[in-house]
Amino acid sequence: MEDFVINKLLTEKPVDETMKLYSTMAQMFNDVAKGSNYHFPEILVKEFLSLNIPHNVRILDVGAGTGNVGKLLHASGYKNIDALDGCEEMLSYAKQLNGVYKQFITAIVKSDTQLPINDRTYDVVLMSGVTCPSHIDVENYQQIFRLLKSGGIIGWIKEDDYILGRNSERYRDGSYQKSLEKYLKEKKLIEMHGFNPKRIPNATLGRPGDLYFFEVQ
Ligand SMILES: C[S@@+](CC[C@H](N)C(=O)[O-])C[C@H]1O[C@@H](n2cnc3c(N)ncnc32)[C@H](O)[C@@H]1O
């Protein structure tokens, strides 16, 4: 399982190839996640709940996949959640979770394409396991910032550089963190104390995960 995740799923390739890969594995995604000791949705939602954000906020789950984040948010009292994913087959499983998500948006986050969502629509964006090679590149986060209201919160969790750096130099030697710093300098993101990143042990594949929360200007 570890070899498939690290050397196939998390390698540099065009995002359309990544979408094809997810469409072939959608049916077994939750089993792959279990076999990888993948705890990202639980960790992200637990840390989000610690922020005590009101239950009526409008949330977008980016890279929602089979709906693991939405399921936990919904069970914790958040009922205004939409799901976005580039892979229809993955979303088809999220659609079977009756009533967890209000709307489903099939769209790929890419540098040159504007997402079919109005500016400043959401109070919160969450991304679990999607900020990694051949998924959503750090340079394309701007496409997502646009969707957040001023003062809105964005949070995500990703594998550490030990895993992501194996097959991608963009995740080695602090490159990822440097790209994020650019957004902080430009004041597009405002740091939330302790979350840039917060390192969480045993998050996936027995390795720590890096958890981020920022406020968006
Ligand atoms: C590892 S899965 C995570 C699913 C879910 N968030 C979870 O943690 O269980 C990554 C998901 O992100 C989606 N994805 C990857 N890159 C994307 C992109 N650029 N735009 C939209 N969706 C993307 C994939 O289709 C897949 O469903």
Residue 148's pLDDT is 98
CA of 66 to the centre of ligand 1 (A): 9
CA of 158 to the centre of ligand 1 (A): 12
d(CA 88, CA 62): 13
- Residues 12-59: tens digit of each pLDDT: 999 999 999 999 999 999 999 999 999 999 999 999 999 999 999 999
Residue 1's pLDDT is 82
Within 6 A (CB) of ligand 1 lie 15, 18-19, 22, 40-41, 63-65, 68-69, 85-87, 90, 108-109, 128-130, 135-136
d(CA 207, CA 62): 23
For ligand 1, atom 11, name the residue with the nearest CA. 63
Q: State the pLDDT confidence band at 85, using cuts at 50, 70 and 90.
A: very high
- Residues 92-139: tens digit of each pLDDT: 999 999 899 999 999 999 999 999 999 999 999 999 999 999 999 999
Can you tell me which atom of ligand 1 is nearest the CA of 87? 25
DSSP state of 191: E
Contact 108, 136 (CB under 8 A): no
For ligand 1, atom 12, name the residue with the nearest CA. 63
Q: CA dist 135 to 98, 102, 111, 121, Å?
A: 27, 24, 12, 23
d(CA 54, CA 41): 19
CATH number, domain with residue 192: 3.40.50.150
For every residue of 2-35, DSSP letters joined together read HHHIIIIITS---HHHHHHHHHHHGGGHHHHHHH
Least confident of 6-10, 20-24, 50-54, 67-71: 6-10
Give the chain's radius of gyration (CA, Å).
Answer: 16
CA of 88 to the centre of ligand 1 (A): 11
Question: Is the dihedral angle over the CA atoms 79, 85, 88, 89 positive or is it negative?
Answer: negative
For ligand 1, atom 24, name the residue with the nearest CA. 63
Residue 149's pLDDT is 98
CA of 194 to the centre of ligand 1 (A): 25
Nearest to 69, CA basis, from 129, 132, 151, 9: 129
Please return the burial class of 33, using the count of CB atoms within 10 Å of its CB with bins 0-12, 13-18 and 19+.
buried
d(CA 135, CA 192): 24
For ligand 1, atom 26, name the residue with the nearest CA. 65
Kindly report whether the global pTM for this prediction surpasses the value 0.85.
Answer: yes
Residue 6's pLDDT is 93
- Residues 158-205: tens digit of each pLDDT: 999 999 999 999 999 999 999 999 999 999 999 999 999 999 999 999
Domain count along the chain: 1
CA of 157 to the centre of ligand 1 (A): 12
The pick from 89, 135, 205 for probing ligand 1's pocket by mutation, whose C-beta has the most ligand atoms within 8 angstroms, reads 135
